[in-house]
Structure formats: C-alpha cells, structure tokens
Amino acid sequence: MNSQHKLADYVRILARGKNASRSMSYEEAQFTMQTMLAGEYEPEQLGAIFMLMRVKEESAEELAGFAAAINQLWPADIPADLIWPSYAGKRRQPFWCFLSALLLTQMGYRILFHGTEAHTSGRLYMADVFTHFRMPVADTLNDILSISTTAPLMYLPCSVLNPQLQRWLSLKSILGVRSPINTVMKTIAPAGIASVQGVFHPNYAFTHINAARLNQNDALVIKGEGGEFEVNPERDCTAQSFFAQEAGEIHIPKLASHIDDKPQNTDIDWLAQIWQGKAENTYANSAILQTAALALCAIERNNDIDTALQRCRDAWNNRDRSLLA
C-alpha cells in the first residue's frame, strides 16, 4: 500500500466540503509553502490548493504563512531601504511609479523591486522598463547585495528567488484565473525592510496589512493603478499602513475626477520625456509625486504625508534630468 503524501492532509483542510472545510492556520500555510518550494508536491495538489484558496479567498494567516516560507529565501543583510513588488503589470498607463522610485534614489534611498516576467498578454511589466533603460537586473541573489548609494535601484526577477515562483505565476494561462501566488508575492519582503504594496480590490488592503502584522513586517498598501503601487490622481487614495507594530491610514484626495492630459497608453518613452522635462503632464506629475511621497512614508515609518509630499516636490525640482537618456 502506498503511504499518503505529506501534503494530502493540507489539501483536505481546504476541501472537506461546505461545512467541514476551513482556512489553513499560519503554521499549516507555512509548512505547505515550504514543502511546495522544495518541489515536494504533485501538480494535482498545487492546483487544488491554489484554486480552493482562490474560491474562498485567502485569509491573512494563509498569506502570512506563505510569505514567511518564501521570505526564508532572502539572503541576509540586503542593503535596501525599501522593497517594491511589481506583479500586476500595466495596460492603461505608463509605469509612473518607476519615476517615483528613481526620484527617491535621488534623495539618497536604495530601492529593490521584485517582480514577474510577462504572464498576461497586453500588459507591460516592470522588467521591461528596467531592460529598456538598462537599469541593473539581478541574475543571482548575491547581486542584490550590491545595491548602494552609487547603484541604488535594482530589479530582482522572482525566478531568481526561486524558479517555482515564476512557474506558478504563469499558471494563469492554464487555470484561466490568477491564483493566490499573485497575491502572496506582493507581500514578501526581507525582515527589517519596509515594503509598499498595490492591490486591485480595496478590501484586500486589510488582508495584506493583517498579514504584515502577523509577520511583523512594516508595510503600506493602496488600491493602485492597475494593481501596481501607484496613485491614480483621479481617485481618492487611502493607504493602509503598519509601521512599528501600529496600524494607521493616510489619505490623499483626488486631484480631479477627470484630468484632460492623462496618457492613454503604456509607452515607455513617456517616462524619459517626463523625467527629462521634455514634456509636461499634470496626471503624470501628480501620480509620480504622490506615489513617491507614500513610499517615503513607508521608508521612514510615519504617516506624515504633507511633509513627504513637500520633500518629494523639492527633490523633483532638483532632479538630475540627464538620466534615462
């Protein structure tokens, strides 16, 4: 007789029917993800776990447990001030948040993006932006230890963290829908480094913050443009924060319900034009500065958005416009 697979009991937790099923505990979710990262799973188990969790929606404990297992992959002592996940991709707007991050590096901060290769057609991904501008992209985990004040911006493909992660993200083309891994990847960060996170649905922000609380990670979460961490100036923005073991909120009112000069495509050339001052755009400037200010609040673990906005405006006016040539 074949012995039962070690993940069978964990599939059963989610799949025992309407009345007997439940969410995984933190420890159960952590063990499940550790086992799957090690490759010790059958494809049927992976599909069952991901889809059953999607149907009921992931709990904070499940997100935190999964994230805790993935966070064990990070090397120690990463010299970054902020972790910036980018997994949704863009299909309506350029990546203004890339310029927000670039602005913060002008202010002396070091930022590590991590994200996915293209997995949904019709979307532009942050990896494409880094490649276009010949910005550093990590080939190994040791590469991210070289972030410094002279090379303060880097992109880490999640496949470098573990090849399984990119493989699971690409399952959308097979399963037809996103899986919990798309959510979990936005929540991972090395211990001691704050992160910013963008979500599609506002209610998910509370799940993300509760997961951050469970893992004692400093984080700031918004409903971002296209699901990325980027402010849409045509919408009121409420950011949920968890800094120094205390939850809070930051509010940014919309600039206007409709901004006439809002770009209607993801053209990367917009980024160079705006950064170099060769084009002016009300929507872009607001998105860049407000996003940068929220990220600055995350770096400094406070909710003083007014001071952060003023500092970012001053830095924008004095930015090195020769970059992105």
- What pLDDT shows up at residue 6? 92
Q: Which domains does the chain show, CATH number per domain? A: 8-71 (1.20.970.10), 82-317 (3.40.1030.10)
Give the rounded percent of residues in the chain with a pLDDT score beyond 90. 90
Tokens of 107: 């202010």
pTM for this predicted structure: 0.96
d(CA 232, CA 172): 26
- What pLDDT shows up at residue 1? 39
Average pLDDT of the residues in 176-187 = 92
Average pLDDT of the residues in 255-266 = 95
- What pLDDT shows up at residue 155? 98
d(CA 116, CA 118): 6
d(CA 49, CA 46): 5
3-class SS letters over 177-199: CCCHHHHHHHHCCCCCCCEEEEE
Average pLDDT of the residues in 223-252 = 97
* Contact between residue 113 and residue 156 where contact means Cβ atoms under 8 Å apart: yes
Mean pLDDT of the chain: 95
pLDDT band at 286 (very low <50, low <70, confident <90, very high): very high
Average pLDDT of the residues in 101-108 = 98
Half-sphere CA count of 52, side-chain side, radius 13 A: 20
How long a stretch of residues is the chain? 325
For the chain, the farthest-separated pair of C-alpha atoms sits apart, in whole angstroms, at: 72
Give the rounded percent of residues in the chain with a pLDDT score beyond 70. 99
Q: Please report, to the nearest 10 degrees, the dihedral formed by the alpha carbons of residues 137, 156, 298, 316 taken in order.
A: 20
Element of type H or E holding 70:
helix 60-71
Average pLDDT of the residues in 147-172 = 95
pLDDT band at 2 (very low <50, low <70, confident <90, very high): low
pLDDT tens digits for range 263-279: 999 999 999 999 999 99
Average pLDDT of the residues in 97-117 = 97
Average pLDDT of the residues in 214-232 = 97
- What pLDDT shows up at residue 121? 74
Whole-angstrom CA distances from 155 to 126, 169, 316 are 8, 17, 22
246 has which bridge partners? 243
- What pLDDT shows up at residue 119? 65
In the chain, beta strands by DSSP E: 82-86, 111-115, 153-157, 195-199, 219-223, 237-243, 246-252
pLDDT band at 201 (very low <50, low <70, confident <90, very high): confident
Residue found by looking up tokens 């074949």 in the block:
2
Q: Is the per-residue pLDDT at 50 higher than 80? A: yes
* Contact between residue 196 and residue 295 where contact means Cβ atoms under 8 Å apart: yes
- What pLDDT shows up at residue 126? 97
* Contact between residue 308 and residue 136 where contact means Cβ atoms under 8 Å apart: no
Q: Is the per-residue pLDDT at 177 higher than 90? A: no
Average pLDDT of the residues in 42-64 = 95
